[in-house]
Every structure is written in structure tokens, then in C-alpha cells.
Amino acid sequence: MIQPPDHKTIETIRRAASKMTGAVRRAFQAETARDYCANSARNTEKFFGWSRQAVQKGIDELKSKIPIADQRRSGRPNYSRKLPNLQSDIRSLVDPNSQTHPTFKTKFRYTRMTAKAVIESLVHEKGYKKSELPALSTMRELLGKMNYRLRRVQKTKPQKRNGRDLRQRESRP
């Protein structure tokens, strides 16, 4: 039976490992397993709370002296892959209801359609199912990436009346 290190040593080693990532972290965990746990990934998991698989991978890397490539993180599939025509359909719905900025200084187009209205239009006019379309917040983000701004353009601002104009009006009969 292997004696676990004292509590203070365990906390110090955990804190040091938490500041590392990838192959560097696994190498540190493997060295810790070698020094404190008789090269046992299972004991390292028990004493330090680290993933047994990660520690074993680090031990294997330490033996072979070649880092093993990390797996790519897949995440959720992008909507441009899942629905390839989505952006063109959004453009066909939003472009008639949008306008450029009056100064033409930005490439953004302002639209009066909300993200919710775009989703509803896609369902009714383009035949999409609501379940396959992105959520409201994702639709807002997608419209932003497509250079649409979801607010109205203020075409003209009313002139402010200064105090002199008001006094002249009051003095008129």
C-alpha cells in the first residue's frame, strides 16, 4: 500500500497542475505519478483527483518521449454545415426590409426585422421546421455575422431649440 502525500503537498501539486494545459500538464501529472504514486494512474486519481486516462496518457508520453496529439474538440455542428442554404434564404428575406447607413461609412445594413420575425418568415415562407432552425439568440448572432444590425436608422434628428428661440416665440403677439 502506497502512503499518500500530506494534504499540503497534494494541494500545492493540484494548484500547479491547474495552471498547465495539454501535453505539459500530462507530463507533470506523469512525473507526479512516478514520484508519489509508484507510476500508478489509479493511485494518482485517488490521491490527486485527476483523470486516470489523462495520467496514463502522460505516463505513456513520458515512456515514449513523444507527445500524443490531443483529439480535436467537435462541439455542436455549425448551422452553415447543417443547413447550407440558410444564409441565402435569410438574405432573401431580410434584404428587402433593410437599408444601408445614410453616411455609407460602414458596411452594416440596418433592418427593421427582428430575429424572431426572421425565424417565423423562414418557417412560413421558406418551409423550414422550427426545430431545425437556430435559437433566437443564435439567430441574432448569425444576423450580426452577416452584417445586419437589428435597429432602425434615425434618418433625421430634430433640431434642439435653444433658449433664444423660445423667448422670441413667447414675445410674439
Residue 169 located in a structural domain: no
Three cell numbers at 86? Answer: 440558410
Same domain, 52 and 86: no
Residue 167 located in a structural domain: no
pLDDT beyond 90 at 27: yes
Same domain, 84 and 30: no
Q: What is the mean pLDDT of residues 117-139?
A: 90
Same domain, 59 and 86: no
Same domain, 45 and 98: no
**Binning pLDDT at 50, 70 and 90, where does residue 76 land?**
confident
Residue 105 located in a structural domain: yes
pLDDT, tens only, 44-66:
999 999 999 999 999 999 999 88
Give the separation between CA 97 and CA 127, rounded to whole angstroms.
20
Residue 168 located in a structural domain: no
Same domain, 54 and 96: no
pTM of the model: 0.46
Residue 2 located in a structural domain: no
Residue 125 located in a structural domain: yes
What is the number of H-type helices and E-type strands within the chain? 9, 3
pLDDT beyond 60 at 125: yes
> Total structural domains in the chain?
2
Same domain, 55 and 84: no
Q: For 20-31, b where at least 16 C-beta lie within 10 A, e where not — what string?
A: eeebebbbbbbe
Residue 70 located in a structural domain: no
Q: What is the mean pLDDT of residues 135-158?
A: 77
Backbone φ and ψ for 151, nearest 5 degrees, come out as -155, 160
pLDDT, tens only, 132-141:
898 899 888 8
Same domain, 135 and 99: yes
Domain that holds residue 92: 79-149
- Using the 3D structure, point to which of 22, 37, 64 is the last residue of a domain: 64
**C-alpha pair distances (Å), 159 with each of 47, 59, 132, 165:** 72, 74, 48, 11
